[in-house]
């Protein structure tokens, strides 16, 4: 799906800056480089029990992501090798859970993107009920919990996990693409030798120990016009360095 590729390409940092709601900072990817973007299929497990996860894997639409509330009891291995292989086989895009996992080497081997709050060898039971497909609340960055509904978009990568509420996705993506373009211009200017103090209009005199720019003629903390910088570089025949990963963003977005 083009939207999933776009969201994965732009990444969680840019999306969180432009309206995506970050999950709590305790979540981590079980294996480095794991990433996905998919619609949420919420799951609520009873404390210390993962029966609802087994039901969710059997019922969730292929390509969706399981987002799992463990009822405030994280210290169990809610996702193990069996569940990871079952989810991968059923076409689940990934799993985000507010609890622990186990069999992390096996989960990495099956290449299912799993994001959890820790590792625990203690096995979860499989009998206490729970719910699937219903709205849940997850820990979030900030004072308020994060509500996750079926159909919200979930994006996860090595930087964290964010939720894009359904109905707001298009606006968040549009703002994110504009933000990435602005950031790329700043990166180009930095690669061309410009100072972040100038480019971002920062006031270094607020920092104790600031001794001024090495170049006496350099401007201190006054913003420069990036378009003017770009035009002047072009007139001088300077080529702007490009960062490879950014090109994937445009390619993914154009296919939407």
Our CA dihedral for 148, 102, 114, 164, rounded to 10 degrees, sits at 20
Burial class (CB in 10 A: 0-12, 13-18, 19+), 55: middle
Parent domain of 47 = 20-166
What pTM did the predictor assign? Answer: 0.81
- pLDDT tier at 248 (50, 70, 90 boundaries)? very low
Q: Name the nearest CA neighbour of 49 among 128, 111, 116.
A: 128
pLDDT in tens, 180-201: 999 999 999 999 999 999 999 9
Of 166, 201, 232, the residue that ends a domain is 166
Instruction: Answer yes or no: do 145 and 205 share one domain.
Output: no
Higher pLDDT, 140 or 160: 160
Mean pLDDT of the chain: 87
pLDDT in tens, 120-139: 999 999 999 999 999 999 98
Total domains in the fold of the chain? 2
Q: Is the pLDDT of residue 237 over 70?
A: no
Of 103, 131, 166, the residue that ends a domain is 166
What's residue 144's pLDDT? 80
Beta bridge partners of 231: none
What's residue 214's pLDDT? 59
Instruction: Answer yes or no: do 177 and 149 share one domain.
Output: no
Instruction: Answer yes or no: do 68 and 98 share one domain.
Output: yes
Comparing 81-85, 154-158, 180-184, which segment has the lowest mean pLDDT? 180-184
Instruction: Answer yes or no: do 144 and 176 share one domain.
Output: no
Of 146, 166, 186, the residue that ends a domain is 166
Higher pLDDT, 183 or 223: 183
Describe the crossing of helices 169-191 and 226-235 by its angle, rounded to 10 degrees: 50
Q: What percent of the chain has pLDDT over 70?
A: 83
Alpha helices (H) in the chain, listed in sequence order: 2-17, 51-59, 81-89, 104-110, 169-191, 196-200, 226-235, 244-254
pLDDT in tens, 18-34: 999 999 999 999 999 99
Instruction: Answer yes or no: do 185 and 142 share one domain.
Output: no
Residue 7 lies in a domain: no
Residue 217 lies in a domain: yes
Q: Name the nearest CA neighbour of 155 among 147, 144, 141, 165.
A: 165
Phi, psi of 84 (to 5 degrees): -65, -45
Instruction: Answer yes or no: do 114 and 189 share one domain.
Output: no
Describe the crossing of helices 2-17 and 169-191 by its angle, rounded to 10 degrees: 70
Residue 12 lies in a domain: no
């Amino acid at each position: 799906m083009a939207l999933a590729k776009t969201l994965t390409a732009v990444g969680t940092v840019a999306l969180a800056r432009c309206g995506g709601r970050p999950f709590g900072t305790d979540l981590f990817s079980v294996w480095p480089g794991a990433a996905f973007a998919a619609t949420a299929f919420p799951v609520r497990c009873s404390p210390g029990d993962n029966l609802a996860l087994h039901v969710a894997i059997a019922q969730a639409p292929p390509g969706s992501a399981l987002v799992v509330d463990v009822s405030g009891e994280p210290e169990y291995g809610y996702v193990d090798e069996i569940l990871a292989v079952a989810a991968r086989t059923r076409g689940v895009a990934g799993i985000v859970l507010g609890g622990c996992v186990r069999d992390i080497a096996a989960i990495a081997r099956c290449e299912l993107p799993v994001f959890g709050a820790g590792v625990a060898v203690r096995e979860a039971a499989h009998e206490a009920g729970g719910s699937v497909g219903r709205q849940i609340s997850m820990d979030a960055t900030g004072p308020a919990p994060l509500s996750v509904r079926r159909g919200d978009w979930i994006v996860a990568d090595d930087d964290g996990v964010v939720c894009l509420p359904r109905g707001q996705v298009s606006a968040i993506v549009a703002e994110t693409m504009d933000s990435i373009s602005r950031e790329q211009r700043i990166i180009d200017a930095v690669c061309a030798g410009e100072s972040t103090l100038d480019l971002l209009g920062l006031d270094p005199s607020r920092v104790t120990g600031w001794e001024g720019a090495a170049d006496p003629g350099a401007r201190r903390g006054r913003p420069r016009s990036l378009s003017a910088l770009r035009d002047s570089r072009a007139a001088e025949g300077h080529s702007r360095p490009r960062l490879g990963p950014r090109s994937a963003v445009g390619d993914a977005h154009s296919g939407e």
